[in-house]
Amino acid sequence: MESRTECGELAERFRKMAEDGLLDVKFFLSNPAEAATEQVCEEVNSLYRAVDEGRLTPLDFGDSHKR
């Protein structure tokens, strides 16, 4: 049985988003030395779940290059 990790879940989400045209995603950490990779993936997953559930509204900076 394969265990599910937060980073694996995030990688799968980004794979699907890339199929829909996502080109790049960046996250800037104020102190990377204090953030474990799995913790960062967990927080990003929480953000996306909140958006999916309508609890947040994504910001649009008008800089998308969608075709």
38 with 6: CB under 8 angstroms? yes
Predicted confidence at residue 56, as pLDDT, reads 78
Give the pLDDT confidence score for residue 67 in this predicted structure.
Answer: 62
Domain positions in the chain: 26-55
User: pTM, whole model, 2 decimals?
Assistant: 0.74
Could you give the percent of the chain with pLDDT greater than 90? 67
pLDDT lower than 50: segments of the chain = none
Q: What 3-state DSSP class applies to 56?
A: coil
